[in-house]
Structures are given as structure tokens and as C-alpha cells.
Structure 1
């Protein structure tokens, strides 16, 4: 690639990256004079790119949108990033895997050989099967989020249940599923709805004033909801610590977001969380090792109750 062509590509890449670019800043980024930037802008205009100039102390340029915009050009990093995003889209659960594969094939076909092998070497494997949501539903929900319009929808498979109403706030992808985070106007509370179970009704309901998410961050709040916190606290509501009589290396692959401290070749300290104390006690029992509860008292009580239940179940088996 010649120096001028490479510089034009770099200039176009910068103009696509943000709305306004002062001419002097562009010159510094490209390591050329402002006069050269002006000439390069004129060359791009001749190729059909609608680049507008703006005046002022920091006068510069912006790439405007238009129906006749020529095909966008990508530098190496942008091309690889686009291909990676398309590869990930095939396992995202967004219902666009076939279209993403076709788009990836198109992008790959026009890539130079130096980039093609990098893309071909990228393999993406989804652990667990993603549940595809209808892309039209996702787009309609995204429009409702942006327009702050109440959505009406049937949820689940019960045909006799009245339609739900919710004020949509965010679309969230979690573990291969798409969820709508919304304020449920019937329950007067925050809820998450699986997009693949939503059948939208039209038209949308009235516009609403957006509420603030507790804590301000949708990802943190949704994590908290899935862990049993109505306030969106991302920490598990029930957390406890035990000493397991087994090697840390045996436990480590299975602790999820817990913390592990090796104590000796045969013991380790484990701190784990769950949505309930009974659930936490059962989770600890799955490690198939003797253990001592360090705290809190609620976990010790749950272990005692779980032991009673297991003992009663075992007695019932022996009596039969």
C-alpha cells in the first residue's frame, strides 16, 4: 500500500471513530501538516465521502451520514475486531447466527491474506447451548428502551394469562440468554424477562419517565437480582466459610465465584455464597468431604437442619 493510500485509510478511520476532529489534531495524529490533511480530505470527497468542514478556533472536519455513503474502509485492527465480533455473534443467542456467518464470510472474502489466517485460526465454542431469541423481538425491545415506551407482551405458554406490562430499561445478555430488565407496572418492582419467552403486542403502551436503577449499573443490578437481592446487591445474600478436609486442588475447579485458601496438603478454607442458607449448606455438601463450619451461625444451623433431613431420608430408605 502506498504512503498516500495508507494515510487516506488512516484519515478515514479516524473520521469514523468520532464526530468532530480539529484539523490540527488530525495533522498531529497522522504526522503531517494541516495542508496535507486538507488535500487528503479533498481526495476523500472526490471518492464520494461526505466530509464537512466546521469553523472556529478549533476548526476541523466531520464525516456525515448519507444514503450514498461509499463502502466503509477498515484498517487492520478494525477488520479483525469486526470479524471477532461476528464470530462471537454466532454463539450469542441473539438469533442471528446464520446472518452473522454470512456476514463473516463476506468480510473474510475481501480481507488481505495477512489477516485471513488470523480470522481462520479463531475458534469460538459456547459452553452450554445458547437459547436463541427472535432478533425482531430484540430490535423491538431496543426501540422501546430508546423511546421510553411501555411494552405489552404475553409471557410464557399460558394462553389465559392476561398480557404483562413493563417499562423497559435495558437488554442484558447473560449465560447465553437475553433478558429485558424492566419496571413491572403490575408488580410495582424491577423484573427480568427472558426475551425468548416474550410475545410482543402492538402497539406499545404510553411513554414513561425513566427510573434510576438501584446502584446505577444494569449489569451489577441484574447480577444481584439473580442472586436473590431485590436491591440489586451483587453479593450473595448468604455467605459462609468452612474448612474442608480435602486438597485445595480438588475443590478449586468447582467453586465458581467462591474464594479458596489452602491450609495444608489435606485441608483448605472455602468461602462461598448462595441465595439461601439451605442452598449454601447443600452446595458445600457436594464437595464430598468432611468439613467444619467457621461461620456464620446461620450456616451452622442450616447444616444441622440439612443433616436432619438427610438422616430422615436415609432412615426411610432402610425401612422400606
Structure 2
């Protein structure tokens, strides 16, 4: 977990656990990571507040006594700390998946307890036990997510090996643009330096651990190019293919799979290149049957009839 991610988690814990509003001075003393000159700490804190609010975490601003002009303080009320997952964007869900793992570890970690001990030393009551962490029922994210998140945030080059459609591991050097989750799979949109174009990579097809290289701020996100790519992504077609168990490992690696019966599985495949998909289905002969869409099913049947006629 990066220093910023750890600081955000510890800030959230401190603001949730406190039973009164915390001033900025108290936050800077109790939460690790706020270093440097006063102006730098203030800017860092303002950015952190914006990041938490962008995730739907409501930070309340108030004073110890409304009748006096005390310094304003901050807290997160536990009753308002709830997340409606169905209202989150894919990007927010991705960030929360990472954060939920970090959060559960952080609550049990030394840095969280250190922050709360500092609050106690300042005479501020807090309660770690009242914090509920099991309300985030988010599937565990792939191990490469923290590295990819940092690479996107810091605009650093990302390096990894990736399985081609033929299951060959190929080295990739990319500028990461966006990470998202769809149909239980995680995807990275990145500018592939060798292909000189935007590509979409599925994280479970990484053949090695991803790592960053080079300096930060190494590239700028081409928003226009990203918008075009996202529009093209939305035009992807989907096919339903029944594949006999134990067969079609290549297509299975690209699919969402559900069981039909003891002999067959239904594989939901997203594709752009229809000819490529048809070749893969025909290669499996009687071990694969296209069930949808009807147009693709018709083409595959016609191809099979042509093959039979040719070799009759």
C-alpha cells in the first residue's frame, strides 16, 4: 500500500473513532504522514478530504461548542459511514475493493493503534471497537491492483507479461490510463508502447507480477483517445458458447463460465473479431456449440456445412 493510501485509511479511522471534532492540529499530531511545512500539510489535508468525499465518505465540519468561536474540527459519524455499492461507478468500486483490503488490515495494524494512542494522549476519547469493517462485501481484488493504482496516480510506466490469445506470455510496457471491473473481471486500459495504441488488458491474464519503472509524470492521459477507445469498448459483442468439460481452455480463459450439466459448461465471451472467434469454435468441432447470438450461430453452422461438403 502506498504512503498516501495508508494515510487516507488512517485518517478515516481517526475521524471515525473520535467522539468529538478533531482540529487540523490534532489530526497532524495523531495521523502519520502529514509532514513538511504548515502550508504543505494543509494542502495535503485538503486533497485527502477531497479524495475521501469523492468516495462518498461524509466528513462533517463542526466546533466543540457552537456558542463560542472555537477552531473548526472534523469527524466522520459512524451512522453516516455507509456505502450503497449499486450507486458506485466502476472506478469507485475498484478503489473501494483495494481500500476494503487495506482497511481490514489497517484496523488491526500498528499504525492505526498508534494514531488512536496519540488521540488518547491528547485527551481525546476514541473507540476502535465500534468501527464496523465487514459491511464492505466487495470481492477481493487481484494482487496487482495496488501497483496499478499507484502507476495511474503517479503516471508511471507499467511493465508486465501478458498472455496472448494463443496463451503465449509477451512482455508489455504500457502507460496505464484506467482500471475498471466488469462481469467479475478486472480490466486495465493502457497505451501499449510497442503497439502505439490503447489496449485493454484483463488482469487475470497477467503472466507475471506488474511493476512500475522510470520516473513519475512520465506521460499525459490522452482524453480524446481514451473516449474513442471507451466508445469502441462499448461496441463489443458477446457470444454464448456451450463447451464440453475439459475442452476449449483458450476460450474458457476469456469467458465467464457457468455450468449447464455434468458434461457441458456455458461460456460467455466478449469479442470484437468475429472471424477469430469462429475459427476457435470450429477448431473444437463437436466440443463447442454457439447458442447465441443467432446470427453467429447461423454463420458457424454454415461454415461446418461447408467443411462437411468439402471433405465428404
Could you tell me the TM-score, scaled by structure 2's length? 0.41
TM-score, normalised to structure 1's length?
0.40
